[in-house]
Amino acid sequence: MTEVKLHDVGEGMTEGEIAHYLVKIGDHVTLDQPVVEVSTDKMVAELPAPVSGVIKDILIPIGQTVTVGTTLLLIESGDEDAATCETVTESSRPVVNARTPLAVQTRRVLATPYTRKIARDHGIDIEQVPASDPSGRVSEEDVLQFVAKRQPVSPVRPEAVTAPEAVTPLATPTMLPFRGIRKQIAKKMTQSLFTIPHVTHFEEIDMTRLLVLRAELKANGTPISVNAFFVKALVVALKDFPVFNAKLDEANDQIILEQEYHIGIATETEDGLIVPVVRQADQLSLRQLHEQLAGLQTRAKTNELRAGDLKASTFTMSNVGPLGSTGATPIINYPETALIAFHKTKKRACVDENDQIVVRSMMNVSMSFDHRVADGATAVAFTNRFAGLIEQPTTLLMELI
């Protein structure tokens, strides 16, 4: 009998939550076939079967959090006919999941865990869902369209038509599962707020010259994202104000000033908020930053990030402007010292240095910082330094020489 244990799917992982079993008792599995989905605080990972054989027992129920090394299920290896296992009566099997089980998979469909969950909740075999994407990836919309096409129209029976009730019953509320990445996000946000005394500083930045420069670069065949400029300017500002590229070590009464610049990029996905990391950002050119940011965002949206993409950030930024945000009080990505959020850029009437009314592209910025480590004056100086680099992008380019 072979034990399938929860192993470390990312550096520093100590526990994980059982999100879903991809098999049921009695199923025959092959070597390396995914058998269970596990949620950590940063990702949803699939654990493969270490041997070929028959699933004999499932030990841990869905939704339970267990530590690394815990045995999740048992596989009986050998040449036993899977049909033999099917002779076991249903009453003798422990009920682990009341959902309709999927058929034994003969191929591995490309789909995110959230998309698979939608299929499971509707009792749909995701292998039967045609993919609209040329890559073969099944999306949430593909599943919902498949469900809509298969939904039968129930005829109205005469006996079902009755007089209205005197008292209309209350509608049953919809229940959403609080587990997986959403639950891990909640734990980390609670830890951050209950540990760090947050202070949020607000600023506005004139984006006009940077947007003109970006348009010129794009016209010359060198597209550079705004986020790439943000990361580069942040690195310059962090070098001038290293207290924000730091961690507080309360146990040893020390503020640890990091010597490397790993910038976390808060990214919204269908499974929740995750923070992929641009590592050694100070050593990358604007073009390299643009390419890395695009790659991380694509892998985040398709749930293909590696464990190394999500660890050891030293400072985090969040660009929520494209979503329409005009302001917020962001929560620090513990154990970092600060987080900066960029909000919507829109044209406003402003007064220039000659007292003339001009139209400028202005962006709101909010920066939350740990008041144990830094003070308000330092935060203002930091955002002023960052704003100066963005408002006068030629000075930013001088920093790259």
Q: Comparing C-alpha atoms, which of 216, 234, 259 is closest to residue 338?
A: 234
Residue 100 pLDDT more than 50?
no
Lowest mean pLDDT among 6-15, 126-135, 308-317: 6-15
Q: What pLDDT is stored for residue 85 in this prediction?
A: 38
What percent of the chain is modeled with pLDDT above 70?
Answer: 85
**What CA–CA distance (Å, rounded) separates 353 from 207?**
17
At how many degrees (to 10) do helices 286-301 and 226-240 cross?
A: 110
Say if residue 101's pLDDT is above 50.
no
Per DSSP, the three-state class of 294 is: helix
What is the domain partition of the chain in residue ranges? 2-98, 110-150, 185-399
Nearest to 310 by CA among 273, 347, 352: 273
- Please state, in angstroms and rounded to a whole number, the distance separating the CA atoms of residues 329 and 339: 10
Query: Looking at domain 110-150, which CATH architecture does it have?
Result: Irregular (4.10)
The mean pLDDT of 132-149, rounded to a whole number, is 79
pLDDT score for 202: 96
Q: Which residues of 345-364 are buried (b: 16+ CB within 10 A; e: fewer)?
A: beeeeeeeeeeeeeebbbbb
pLDDT (mean) for 166-171: 73
Domain 2-98 has CATH 2.40.50.100: yes
Whole-number Å distance between alpha carbons of 247 and 264: 14
Instruction: Tell me which of 7, 201, 343, 371 is the catalytic residue.
Output: 371
CA-wise closest residue to 342 among 358, 312, 362: 362
3-state secondary structure 88-131: CCHHHCCCCCCCCCCCCCCCCCCCCHHHHHHHHHCCCCHHHCCC
- Do the domains 110-150 and 185-399 sit in the same CATH topology, yes or no? no
Overall average pLDDT of the 225-240 stretch: 96
For the segment 380-400, what is each residue's pLDDT rounded down to a tens digit? Answer: 999 999 999 999 998 888 877
189 class by beta-carbon count within 10 Å (0-12 exposed, 13-18 middle, 19+ buried): middle
Are 241 and 382 within 8 A, CB to CB? Answer: yes
pTM value surpassing 0.75: no
* Widest Cα–Cα separation across the chain: 88
Whole-number pLDDT of residue 315: 97
| Predicted confidence band of residue 113 (pLDDT cuts 50, 70, 90) | low
- Range with the largest mean pLDDT of 19-33, 105-119, 181-195, 379-393: 379-393
Residues 6+ apart with CB under 8 A from 97: 20, 21, 24, 61, 62
Radius of gyration of the chain, Cα coordinates, nearest whole angstrom:
26
Poorest-confidence range of 111-120, 243-252, 314-323?
111-120
Within 8 A by CB and 6+ apart from 180, the residues are 17, 19, 39, 44, 113, 271, 272
Per-residue pLDDT of 26-79, as tens digits, reads: 999 988 888 998 877 666 778 888 889 999 999 999 888 888 889 999 999 865
Catalytic-residue membership of 201: no
pLDDT of 166 > 70? The answer is no
Fold of the domain built from segment(s) 185-399: Chloramphenicol Acetyltransferase (3.30.559)
